[in-house]
Structure 1
Amino acid sequence: MALFGYLQRPLRIIQTLLSVYYAYMLEYRAELMFWVLSGSFPLILMGLWQEAARSGQFDLDPDTVVRYFLAVFVVRQLTVVWVIWDFEREVLEGKLSPLLLQPLDPGWRHFCSHLAERLARLPFIAILVGLFLWLYPVARQQPAHLFWGLLATGLAFCLRFLMQYTYAMVAFWVERATAIEQFSFLLYTFFSGMVAPLTLFPEAVRTIVFWTPFPYLIYVPASLLVGLPIKIGQSIGVTLIWCLIFWLLNRLFWRLGLKHYGGMGA
C-alpha cells in the first residue's frame, strides 16, 4: 500500500501527460500518415534482398527475408525518435527556461509525447501491416515470438530515446546539436540491421558491431519477432547496460549544461 501511494502521483502525472499529448497528436493525423509512409524504406529493401535470397547467395530463405523486413518496418515505426530537434529548439529559443520552473524534468514531457505519438500512429501501422500480410501471407509471425520481440522493441525505443536525448545535451554548448545525430544516423543505418540483416556481415565485423548499441535498436527486436536465433537474455542485458550508460551520461551533461545555460543569463 505504501508503494502504491508513492507511485500514485507519478502515475497520475504520466497519465495526464499522455492524454494531453495524445490529443495534441490527433490534430496531426494526416501528417502522421505521411510519417508512417516515410518509414517504409525497409519494405523497399525487402524486394532487393528477396531476389538475392532466391539466388542462394546467403543463408536466409526468401520467406524469412520478407518476415525480417516487415519486422524491421514495425520496429522502426515504434522506435522513431526526434527529441534532439525539439530540445535544440527549446534551448536556442529560450523555451527551456519556463519549463525549468516547473517541478518536472522536461525529459519526461518529451518521453510522454513520443509515447502518445506511438498510440496515435498505431492505426496507420496496423493498416499497412494488414495490407502487407494480405500481399505476402508468408510474412505472418508466430505468436510465440511476439512477447520477446515486443519487449525488445520497447527497450530499443528507450535506448534510442536516451541516446538521442543525450546527444541533445550538446545544444547547451553548440547551436547545431543535430549534427551529432546526423553522424550517428549513418552508423545506425548500416549497423542496426535496417539495410541488411547482420547475419550477412563478416564474422569479425559482426563481433565488433555487437559491442555497440546499434544492433539492439533494430536487428535484435526484429530477429526476435521473426524467430531468428538470438540469445534473448544476453541481448536484453546488453540493451539495459547501454540504457544505463546513456542515462548516466545524460544526467551528467544535464547538470553541466544547466550551469552553462544559467551562466548565459537564462
Structure 2
Amino acid sequence: MSAYRVLVGCKRVIDYAVKIRVKPDKLGVVTDGVKHSMNPFDEIAIEEAIRLKEKKLASEVVAFSCGPTASQETLRTAMAMGADRAIHVEIDGKEAETLQPIHVAKLLSKVAQEEKIDIIMLGKQAIDDDCNQTAQMTASLLNWPQATFASKIENDNGSFKVTREIDGGLETIKVKLPAVISADLRLNEPRYATLPNIMKAKKKPLAKKKPSDYGVEVKAHQQVLKVEDPPVRQAGQKLETVEDLVVKLKDGGFV
C-alpha cells in the first residue's frame, strides 16, 4: 500500500472570538483591522491530515487557500502545524468578497487533478458563511466518493472507514480512494504550532497562483442585498409559582 497525497482546504475567516459588526452600508461585515485566523473546522482537517502522515499513511500534506494576500498567513499556520507545502490562489477586492463555494470547489478539483491528490480534506463548513457546500460540490465535480461530517477516520486496506455525525446519531460508511472527507468538531483536537515550527514554515514552499491558471472564473453569481444584526433577544420573566407559569402559558403571555 502506497502512502497517499492529501490536499487540505484552509480558509481565512474572522476569528471566532471577535464580535461581528455590520458595515454602515448594510452590505457586509467589518473586516478592516479585525483579527482573522484559520477556520476552526479547517484546523481539524489539517490536524487529521498530519496525523495520517505521522502514521505513514500519507506521503505529503498540501495546504490550499484562495482569497486575498493575507490568506498566506493562514497557509503558513497550516505549514507550522505540519503541512509540507502550500498553494495560494490569490483573489483580491470585490471578487474575494463574493467568492462562493462553487468557485472554491472548482479550484480544489483542478488542483487535485494537477497534483494527483488521493484525499481532499476540508472542514465541514466555514464559520463566516456556514454554507457547508464546498466538500459536496468538490466531490461531485471530481466524481469522487464523499464522507462528510467525519468524527472518526480509520484506514481499511486502501479504503477509509468513516464515522459520521448525523441527526439520528452516528453512521459508519466505507469510501474508496480517491475521496473527499469533511471534518466535524469531534474528529480531533488540533495541535498548537510551536515557535520552531513557525520559523520552519517560513522556508516551506508556497506556490502563488491565479484562478486563470486553472481555467476557473470567479465571477459572482449572486448579490448581497442587505446584512442585518440578529434581533435583540427579549428579557426573560421571573415567575414565583408553577400556577403563575400555567396561567402565562394558557394566556399566551410569553409571545
TM beyond 0.5 = no
TM-score range, shorter chain: under 0.3
Larger helix fraction of residues: 1
Give me the TM-score of the superposition, normalised by structure 1: 0.27
Larger strand fraction of residues: 2
